[in-house]
Structure 1
Amino acid sequence: MRNWLSNRVPQSDSMAKGIKPLLFAALLSSTWLAGPGDAWAIPDRVTVNAMEYPWSAIGKIETSIGHCSGFLISKKHVLTAAHCLYDRERNQWVKPSEVHFTAGYQNHQHTLKSAVKSYKQSKKYKKTRDASVKNTATDWALLELKHPLGKDAGWLALKRLDKALLQDLAEGEAALLHAGYRGDSPHRLKAGFGCEIAGYFKNGIGIAHRCSIMQGDSGSPLLVFADGRIYATGVHVIGASDGRREIAGALSVSIFHPDVGSPRAARILRPAGNIWRESKPPRASRKAEKAPVTTIDLLLGELGYLRGLGKRTSPSKRRNAIQAFLKDTNMTGPARPSVSLLGELVRQLK
């Protein structure tokens, strides 16, 4: 583990080269090979309502070779892992016509589904190499959808995990979380909260953390709640183990930044627009909801502010629970569900 993982805070966001691969496994999409008691099964994730934002911006990618996860970064653009699109048996990339993306997919419901018009990936992706640190920097792909699902699902802005954000995480002012369509639950979106940084790949090219990640999670976002907003700060591409613990590996979105990242990667993402500004909730519609009400109820219950979970929570009961939470934590704000409230609840779970 020490050959690739460092506990030192990255001094820059420059891209690393020549990092030695060690103990990695791809979060491959076709079949989940581990059983409930095997290495990847860590019971610390919960089912969330995928049709509530921000979860609705995350979706399931289905191809001729299996499934992965991905997330919207604009109305029509989805970020995912490149290895989700490479057919190693046929030794070729899958055709765009063989790829479909469903935002907010859950329980076989394809309310927000689109075919893929085209996709682009790094030309330096090593198609013959298994998952490794060396391949991490190129294990990304940008899908262009035929339909602008982001209007009804919302999308996620990108945010670099820089020194300031790392300091906020260390002080509990920010929180890491994630969600994806893991292999043992391919029809339900599952989220994990309170992810802890385990280290960094050389020069900050990748983010290693101790969250429950398994096959099917490839392409899912490493999320960060900061400044009252939700962002994507990494793309999950690999998993690792030293025999005692599991480590998840995410490609830092810094690689897409026009100032510090790969010029070609930044150029490919340019059609998605200003992906660094702020995340966008869905428009008012009867499709995806703008706030994660179900998850907020769950976390309020976990923190002791709601009882009788599993039953329908009345608006007045939820409002009273939120007011009590805000009072106990010396926070102000409206007593209604919001992405900001979700982040504050997640921060209190630590």
Structure 2
Amino acid sequence: MRVLKLACLISFLLPTVVLGESATSRKITEALPGEASVGRLVVNGNAMCTGALVSPELVLTAAHCLYDPKNGRRVNPSQIEFQAGLRRGKAVAVRGVAETMQHPKYEHRRKGKAQVGHDLALLRLDRPIDANAVLPMAKDIRLGTGDMLGVLSYNIGNRNDPVLEYPCRVLATQHQTVVMSCEVDFGASGAPVLALSNGKNPSLVSVVSARAAMGGKAVSIGTTLTAKALQDMMRGG
């Protein structure tokens, strides 16, 4: 998870902002539809991100999770493990990664100089997982200011259990970048941003890229999803 100083970006996206209700983070204590679709990614043995199944063999995450935070080099796919539906330290399924594909317009930048808007990647697993665990994607949804969302992630404080933050809201959008009131922590990079109906029936609309601050309050930055972005990643490698 990158901590970004995005004052210029946020001021551009948010000429006037009024923060309303605050989101509530909580450990999942009862089954949430789609929970088994989300898992912890262990990268290079120690770095942590979150990912979500979008097909039985494809995991969606953030592109910067493919890079070693120490040296900035792209990690070999064999050094990434996906732990699907991890709860109380026990996963529904554990898979290695055979191939990684990042958005063709993504350029990795070190030391917090983030590129937003294209921070997406797909991981092809070495073996598929049950198709019933796939998280549906809201096709080409257009997020607007005030839309209600949730984020399901793992983080440094909750490595072995998923944390749901709901409700939080869209503060602004610009092209494929969305600024949200969702508060996220280290490890939540790549976490699915979900459109939910009364906390249920989740569909995937965005991926967490970074956390930031605005007016002394925590916000998060995400990349919105389109069918074209998924196709571009699969073609671009």
Structure 1 match to 2:222: 250
Percent identity among equivalent residues?
Answer: 22
- CA RMSD between the two structures: 2.7
- Displacement of 1:180 after TM fit? 0.1
Structure 1 match to 2:39: 59
Are the aligned partners of 1:241 and 1:247 in contact in 2 as well (CA < 8 Å)?
A: yes
**Could you tell me how far apart the structure 2 residues matched to 1:113 and 1:58 are?**
12
CA gap 1:166/1:126 in 2 versus in 1, 3 angstroms? closer
Are the aligned partners of 2:96 and 2:126 in contact in 1 as well (CA < 8 Å)?
A: yes
Give the match's secondary structure for 1:113: strand
Structure 2 match to 1:144: 124
Structure 1 match to 2:51: 70
CA gap 1:269/1:155 in 2 versus in 1, 3 angstroms? farther
Q: Which whole-Å deviations, capped at 9, do the CAs of 1:195-219 have from their partners, x for residues lacking one?
A: 112222x3x3211111121110000
Give the match's secondary structure for 1:213: coil
2:97 counterpart of 1:116: yes
Structure 2 match to 1:126: 107
Structure 1 match to 2:77: 96
CA gap 1:90/1:166 in 2 versus in 1, 3 angstroms? closer
Q: Structure 1: which 4+ aligned runs deviate by more than 6 Å? A: none
Are the aligned partners of 1:81 and 1:236 in contact in 2 as well (CA < 8 Å)?
A: yes
Q: Which whole-Å deviations, capped at 9, do the CAs of 1:266-319 have from their partners, x for residues lacking one?
A: 23347xxxxxxxxxxxxxxxxxxxxxxxxxxxxxxxxxxxxxxxxxxxxxxxxx
Structure 2 match to 1:178: 151
More strand by share: 2
2:231 counterpart of 1:266: yes
1:107 maps to a residue whose letter is: R
Equivalent of residue 199 in structure 1, options 172, 175, 183: 172
- Displacement of 1:49 after TM fit? 4.8
**Could you tell me how far apart the structure 2 residues matched to 1:193 and 1:106 are?**
19
- Displacement of 1:51 after TM fit? 6.2
Give the match's secondary structure for 1:62: strand
**Could you tell me how far apart the structure 2 residues matched to 1:269 and 1:123 are?**
9
Structure 1 unmatched ranges of 5 or more: 9-41, 271-350
2:8 maps to a residue whose letter is: N
CA gap 1:166/1:150 in 2 versus in 1, 3 angstroms? farther
**Could you tell me how far apart the structure 1 residues matched to 2:96 and 2:31 are?**
19
2:80 maps to a residue whose letter is: V
More helix by share: 1
Are the aligned partners of 2:118 and 2:176 in contact in 1 as well (CA < 8 Å)?
A: no
Structure 2 unmatched ranges of 5 or more: 1-5, 16-21
Q: Which whole-Å deviations, capped at 9, do the CAs of 1:85-141 have from their partners, x for residues lacking one?
A: 2014344211111111011011221331111111111344333334456x1123211
Q: Which whole-Å deviations, capped at 9, do the CAs of 1:171-210 have from their partners, x for residues lacking one?
A: xxxx31111002211111000111112222x3x3211111
**Could you tell me how far apart the structure 2 residues matched to 1:238 and 1:101 are?**
20
1:223 maps to a residue whose letter is: L
CA gap 1:233/1:146 in 2 versus in 1, 3 angstroms? same
CA gap 1:224/1:92 in 2 versus in 1, 3 angstroms? same
**Could you tell me how far apart the structure 2 residues matched to 1:75 and 1:2 are?**
39
CA gap 1:268/1:83 in 2 versus in 1, 3 angstroms? closer
- TM-score, normalisation: structure 2: 0.81
- Displacement of 1:7 after TM fit? 4.1
**Could you tell me how far apart the structure 1 residues matched to 2:180 and 2:55 are?**
26
- Displacement of 1:45 after TM fit? 0.7
Higher Cα radius of gyration: 1
Larger mean CA deviation between 51-60 and 112-121 belongs to: 51-60
CA gap 1:51/1:85 in 2 versus in 1, 3 angstroms? farther
Equivalent of residue 162 in structure 2, options 165, 189, 211: 189
Q: Which whole-Å deviations, capped at 9, do the CAs of 1:10-61 have from their partners, x for residues lacking one?
A: xxxxxxxxxxxxxxxxxxxxxxxxxxxxxxxx98211115865311111110
Bigger RCO of structures 1 and 2 (CA < 8 A, at least 6 apart): 2
